[in-house]
Amino acid sequence: MCPTTRGALALLLAVLSLSSALPAFAVPPNSHAVSGGAGWRCNTGYRQRLGRCQKIGATPLPANAAGKGAHWYCQSGYQRVGNQCRKTGLPANSYSSGKDWSCRVGYHRVGERCEKLDTPATVTAPAVEEPCDGGYILDP
């Protein structure tokens, strides 16, 4: 072998050796590279999700949601649609009630809006919506 060929071959082997020692992929936080260059795995207490390692039991809540983990609900003015909370077209002075909506205390539903109840000065607003005897609602 010629001296120049021998030097070029040595340089090529050195570059190949160096490149095989470096991972050809990014290892995300809370993970480690798998030996043999077969990728990476999440550390104990984490699971792989969407190309990263997420702490087990720490599922992020969607925007405009409250609660913890799998037990979450949408905040007032938003409705759960799959894994998201979407803004609803709720009328003023109302709140989400399952798949429908209800008026806040001191208001009553008139069609698709909530109107303020006209209550006497001697009656507090919460008493207006509380049931009377027999399950009836006080009619102002």
pLDDT digits (tens, 9 = 90+) for 31-81: 999 887 778 999 988 888 888 888 877 667 889 988 876 678 888 778 888
- Residue 36 has a pLDDT of 77
- 6 CB-near residues (< 8 Å, 6+ apart): none
Q: Residue 120: how many CA atoms within 13 Å on its side-chain side?
A: 6
Handedness of CA 114, 119, 125, 130 (dihedral sign): negative
- Residue 138 has a pLDDT of 56
Give me 30's structure tokens. 């809370």
Q: What is the pLDDT of residues 77-97, one digit of tens each?
A: 788 888 899 887 888 888 877
The pTM of the full predicted model, rounded to 2 decimals, is 0.34
Domain ranges of the chain: 61-88, 91-140
Handedness of CA 14, 18, 20, 21 (dihedral sign): positive
Name the pLDDT band for 111 (thresholds 50, 70, 90). Answer: very high
- Residue 116 has a pLDDT of 93
Which of 100, 108, 102 is closest to 125 using CA atoms?
Answer: 108
Are the C-beta atoms of 85 and 65 separated by less than 8 Å? yes
- Residue 139 has a pLDDT of 57
